[in-house]
Amino acid sequence: MNHQEAWSFLFENIKPIYGKREAQSIASIVIEDSFQGQKPYSNQRILTNTELQQIMDITARLKNQEPVQYITGQADFFGLKFNVNTSTLIPRPETEELVAWILEDYQYAHRDFDVLDIGTGTGCIPIALAKRNARLQCTGVDLSEAALAVAQSNSTRHQVAVSFFQKDILLESAQKTLGQYDVIVSNPPYIPHSDKSMMSHQVLDNEPDLALFVENDDPLVFYRNIAEFGLHHLTKVGKIYFEIHESFAQETIRLLERLSYKNISLRQDMQGKDRMIRASVPT
């Protein structure tokens, strides 16, 4: 079996589960990411016995609906490859749009701006920002030590000087240890436990609950705490950026209004869902 045949084997085995288009994409990701970036379509090298067994094992895991990113150990985000494991969420395309919004706002930055990413996970947000704009001096915090280890590995991988710290942003004692920032960005947990019944088993069985879910009776807990934190830790020209649950867009806006944030803007994602909010610190 050569690479091209391995791609076809993967595709045919997983197509009944994922459908034609997604199966094509997954098969290509596996061959390219698991075999040093080799393109599958014209590569005629015969796989070794070890590689053949690897293909068989990966096929079985995919048929069990394990995310391909956890199988290959990496995910694409903003044109970069990020290390991932089950301690971190898989970076989403919607979050790329949040990063693009910040880069758009600071593309003509005339000085350095300090950025804090809260709930950093893989570190994809601050690393992508720092990689694309050297004026953005980024820090990431997360509650999970395991996630921070992945984030640090990604910072090293992409050769950017992003600092990472373990902090529970819901604790006032942790907030007091952080400084002043021009930008606070967060894609915090925002899915109520009641939404689990509508989610795929691929997500529920593999991605970390800690990074996904909030209690049904307080779905805005992170937004409220981060926004209140921003009142004391944003500079006078500071902005806050959130990725949000589409069902709680107006509630999040009202929360920011109650805290006197100004210039509140709501953006939809590529699927037309309310997904991002930007606001300026009260002055």
Q: List, for residues 218-245, the tens digit of each pLDDT value.
A: 999 999 999 999 999 999 999 999 999 9
- Judged against a pLDDT cut of 70, whether residue 207 lies above it is answered with yes
- Residue identified by tokens 């002055």 is 283
- Judged against a pLDDT cut of 80, whether residue 35 lies above it is answered with no
Domain ranges of the chain: 3-64, 75-280
Query: CA 61 to CA 134: how far, in whole Å?
Result: 40
Sign of CA dihedral 218, 223, 224, 225: positive
Half-sphere exposure (Cβ direction) of 37: Cα atoms closer than 13 Å: 1
Length of the chain counted residue by residue: 283
**DSSP character at residue 238:** E
Contact criterion met (CB below 8 Å) for 164 and 150: no
Confidence of residue 2 (pLDDT cuts 50, 70, 90): confident
- Judged against a pLDDT cut of 80, whether residue 172 lies above it is answered with yes
- Topology of the domain covering 75-280: Rossmann fold (3.40.50)
Contact criterion met (CB below 8 Å) for 46 and 4: no
Phi and psi dihedrals of 65, rounded to 5?
Answer: 65, 30
Quick one: the chain helix, strand, coil %, rounded to 5?
45, 20, 30
